[in-house]
Amino acid sequence: MAVIVDEEIRGVSPKSGRFARNSRKMSGTVKLTCVQLLMVAFATLITMSSAGLQYGFYNASCPNAEQMVTSVVNGLIDANPAVAPALIRLIFHDCFVAGCDASILLDPRSANSSPEKTSIPLAVAGYNAVDQIKTAVEAACPGTVSCADIVAFAARDSVAKAAGYYYSVDSGRRDGSVSTAFSILTNMPSPLFNRSDLVARFIQKKLTVVDLVALSGAHSIGVAHCSAFTKRLYPTVDPTLDATFAADLKKRCPAPARGVPDNLVNNSVVTPAILGNQYYGNAMGKKVLFNSDATLLTGSDTATLVSQMAADPAKWIAQFAVSMVNMGRIGVLTGTQGQVRKNCRVVNS
What are the catalytic residues?
A: 93
Residue 19 to residue 290: CA distance in whole angstroms: 29
Please state the φ and ψ torsions of residue 337, each to the nearest 5 degrees: -75, 150
Cβ–Cβ < 8 Å for 65, 141? yes
Say how many residues make up the chain. 349
Rg of the chain's alpha carbons, rounded to an integer?
20
DSSP sequence for 179-232: --TTHHHHHSPPTT--HHHHHHHHHHTT--HHHHHHHHGGGGSSEEEGGGTGGG
Nearest to 94 by CA among 347, 337, 328, 339: 328
SS3 content of the chain, % helix, strand, coil (to 5): 50, 5, 40
**Single-letter code of the amino acid located at 268:** S
Q: How many CB atoms lie within 10 A of CB 45?
A: 13
DSSP sequence for 246-257: HHHHHHHSPPP-
